[in-house]
């Protein structure tokens, strides 16, 4: 792949890529079109009703800063669409259960990707090597976000959607080592059943115990050419609320350095990225419950 100049990482201004990012996750995409004020105003009414509960149109007009006529028109539209109901006895508007359909399609994986992306680009600016964010799915780890296409040191243009081994990759080993024993056993059973190439190792409790202990002693997971010849990685788990959320790696050429050298150079930055993802994840979870 064509190498990109390093100066875009080293410039004083904050750099974020403007291509290949999903719209819902690109926090810094410049506005390409003028915003729709009526949509923004309608959303402000939904947010206010979500916070305060049932309220009258005059109350909502005051709390949102909308003029009363606009407020009535927007509430009528939301009522026509089924998102707001009106109680004639109290003269108050309230949200309906249909409002939940706007968020039910957002999975934990969607939220975790939103939390992961900004810290991953901050990590890229600091270390230049690419990284991947992955979660456990169907016996493997699935890469949900990646900075490979933006790294000047990557040979891969696209990694999102690719699978990595639960038992042979640094991403998978980080998740396994951090998981509670019962969850670890269940993940390995799924892998043994669904991933034929990993079945033997997934059933080898001695080997699993060895790399789990090694990962816990080192403070990070690693792999050397076990998922792709000539490619090594170090990785850390990302703790969610309850089970481990996923993992984050830094990928590099095996000929460039060993995992031990990579850890000495980059583990601090990787840990900071993980802490940032965990903070963002908790904030998204809190916002979803508000």
Q: Residue 289: pLDDT above 80?
A: no
Under 8 Å between Cβ of 103 and 71: no
pLDDT in tens, 248-267: 999 999 999 999 999 999 99
pTM of the model: 0.65
- Give exposure, 245-280, as e/b (b: 16+ Cβ within 10 Å): bbbbbbbbebeebebeebbeebbebbeebbebbbeb
For residues 73-93, average pLDDT: 91
d(CA 243, CA 222): 21
Compare 127 and 6 and report the one with higher pLDDT.
Answer: 127
For residues 144-157, average pLDDT: 89
Q: Residue 202: pLDDT above 90?
A: yes
d(CA 140, CA 40): 41
pLDDT in tens, 99-118: 766 655 555 556 666 788 89
Write down the pLDDT at residue 290: 52
Compare 199 and 245 and report the one with higher pLDDT.
Answer: 199
In sequence order, the 6+-apart residues with CB closer than 8 A to the CB of 199 are: 191, 192, 193
Percent of the chain with pLDDT over 90: 58
């Amino acid at each position: 792949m064509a190498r990109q100049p390093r100066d875009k990482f080293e410039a004083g201004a904050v750099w974020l890529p403007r291509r290949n990012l999903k719209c819902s996750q690109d926090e810094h995409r410049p506005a390409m079109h003028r915003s729709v004020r009526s949509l923004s105003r309608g959303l402000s009414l939904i947010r206010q009703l979500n916070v305060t509960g049932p309220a009258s149109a005059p109350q909502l007009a005051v709390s949102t800063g909308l003029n009363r006529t606009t407020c009535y028109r927007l509430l009528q539209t939301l009522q026509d669409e089924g998102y707001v109901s009106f109680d004639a006895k109290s003269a108050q508007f309230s949200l309906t259960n249909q409002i939940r359909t706007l968020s039910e399609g957002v999975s934990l994986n969607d939220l975790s990707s939103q939390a992961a992306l900004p810290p991953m680009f901050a990590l890229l600016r600091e270390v230049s090597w690419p990284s991947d964010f992955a979660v456990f799915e169907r016996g493997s780890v699935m890469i949900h976000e990646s900075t490979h296409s933006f790294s000047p040191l990557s040979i891969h243009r696209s990694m999102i959607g690719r699978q990595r081994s639960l038992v042979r990759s640094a991403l998978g080993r980080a998740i396994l080592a951090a998981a509670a024993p019962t969850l670890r056993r269940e993940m390995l059973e799924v892998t043994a059943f669904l991933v034929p190439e990993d079945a033997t190792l997934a059933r080898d409790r001695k080997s699993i115990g060895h790399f789990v202990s090694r990962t816990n002693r080192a403070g990070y997971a690693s792999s050397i050419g076990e998922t792709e010849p000539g490619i090594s990685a170090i990785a850390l788990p990302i703790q969610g609320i309850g089970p481990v959320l996923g993992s984050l790696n830094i990928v590099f050429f095996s000929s460039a350095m060993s995992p031990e050298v990579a850890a000495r150079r980059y583990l601090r930055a990787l840990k900071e990225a993980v802490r940032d993802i965990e903070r963002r994840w908790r904030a998204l979870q809190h916002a979803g419950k508000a």
